[in-house]
Amino acid sequence: MRLPGGRNGRGVRLVVATALVCAVTGLAAPGVAQAAEARPEPRDSAGSAQHGGPSGRPGPEARAGRSLEDVRRQIDRLYHEAEAATDAYNAARSATERQSREIVRIAKAVVAAQERMDRLKRQAGALARAQYRIGGLPDEAQLLLGRGGPEEFLRDANLARKGQQATKGLMTGLARTQKELDAYAKSASGQWRRLEENRERKAAARKRVEGRLKDARKLESELEREELERLRRMEAEEAREAQAKWLGSGVLEDIRGEASKRGGKAVAFATAQIGKDYVWGAEGPDTYDCSGLTSQAWRAAGRPIPRTSQEQWKQLPRIDIEDMRPGDLIIYHGDASHVGMYVGDGAIVHAPRPGRQVTLAGAGSMRILGVVRPDK
């Protein structure tokens, strides 16, 4: 993905990179629509655009007393809320899967401990029966009543001591195994409780996602075809402006890092998914959400990372943007609800939102929260 130009040609490289990102932003711009908080205030030119549909009748936004810019911002907010809820859904699903695996592990451990307990009980029973056959008499009584003399008594007493030691060992083993079983039962109970709690969280998050998407699609369905086209143009223009401002800061002058071996593999995987649909909660191979794409890309590179963008932000090492290199993950928005993978030359590959496809976009076309490096 590196464009021509070294340290002595950074000015040319910046111009070319700007052209590249502006070109691809036309494809990627709809995907940044969720960043309502990152956009500038509405311009009069957008708010004062015509309010009539192709038929000449008032457009839906006029009928509702709102400008197209207002409608767009509302749609952006709904998609952003849907993405945040998707992150919560993914987190709850991952926790549920993790707890299910732990419950299976505990169940297997319980079976093994119970088998050990049964074996110890059988041994204890056999030992008790052997002691019963001896008569269970005190050593002094065995000396007085014994017919074999002191030598045989001493031999029997030695065996008795060994039997007592064996009995003590068995009882200790039984107590320890019972303690293990009790601990497993307590742990399983806690895991089941957390499993149910996360199932409830997952169901609630799913309901929020579906509700926000339904509302956003309803708003979009009320727009005329011409208004939808204007909406996309507005999205694309704001994305281009944000990217141009980011590039104009000279940030690319300081970003010269080369991808690591694993980072290169992650980039290759992610860019190979371009054109595949965004589906919330999906992690491939045919559809992805934003963190599903980045987590699977790094898994393919041999470095598993957290599933959600928020956990990627919390758990992965953070780096300065000037030290960014291809393969690093850029986390977006104040709630860390979106993530893209830096591919070099001021661009990212990401899965934008429902109704869009995995695509390239300007790294600065959304509000950057920070950068993390999976293989630091």
Residue 167 sits at the vertex; the CA angle it makes with 163 and 169, to the nearest 5 degrees, is 115
Q: Which residues pair with 372 in a beta bridge?
A: 318, 329
Give the single-character DSSP code of 335: T
Copy the structure tokens of residue 213. 């998407």
Q: How far apart are CA 157 and CA 146, in angstroms?
A: 11
80 is catalytic: no
| Catalytic pick among 22, 51, 333, 338 | 338
Taking only Cα atoms into account, the Rg of the chain, rounded to an integer number of angstroms, comes to 34
336: left (phi over 0), alpha (psi -120 to 50) or beta: left
Is the distance from CB of 364 to CB of 246 less than 8 angstroms?
Answer: yes
Amino acid identity, position 307 = R
Q: Is 22 a catalytic residue?
A: no
Selecting among 22, 80, 290, 333, the annotated active-site residue is 290
| CA-to-CA separations, 326 to 100, 257, 376, in angstroms, rounded | 36, 7, 13
Measured at the alpha carbon of residue 273, what is the angle toward residues 283 and 296, in degrees to the nearest 5?
Answer: 35
The structure tokens listed for 340 are: 């893209």
Query: Which of 227, 212, 233 minimizes the C-alpha distance to 79?
Result: 212
H or E stretch at 348: strand 347-350
Contacts for 291 with CB less than 8 Å, ≥ 6 apart: 87, 90, 307, 308, 309, 312, 339
- Long-range contacts from 276-280, C-beta under 8 angstroms, 24+ separation: 276/351, 276/357, 276/358, 277/356, 277/357, 277/358, 278/31, 278/351, 278/352, 278/353, 278/354, 278/355, 278/356, 278/357, 278/358, 279/354, 280/82, 280/83, 280/86, 280/89, 280/209, 280/213, 280/354
Hey, which residues are catalytic here? Answer: 290, 338, 350
